[in-house]
Amino acid sequence: MPLYEYKCEKCKIRFSVFQPVEEGKENLACPKCESKEIKKVFSSFSSYFSKDSCGSSFGFG
């Protein structure tokens, strides 16, 4: 199912909704503080995990 992620600019939380909100509509509000100051967040799955970050624990004599 398509999930759309939004972020509240007021309390800085992220929440997901099932329906996309068209621009100009104000029927979507933050579920926590009920603020209308929300922004759409694009989930980035690619290049999220950095390489050579962890996993190499050799070197200890």
Using CB under 5 A, count the residues that bind Zn ion: 7
Nearer to Zn ion, 32 or 40 (CB): 32
| Cα of 12 vs its chain's centroid, Å | 10
Does residue number 32 form part of the binding site for Zn ion (CB under 5 A)? yes
Q: How far is the CB of 35 from Zn ion (least distance, A)?
A: 5
Please select the residue that binds Zn ion; options are 3, 5, 20, 33, rule is CB under 5 A: 33
CA dist 37 and 9 (Å) reads 5
Nearer to Zn ion, 3 or 11 (CB): 11
Ramachandran category for residue 15: left, alpha or beta (phi over 0 → left; psi -120 to 50 → alpha): beta
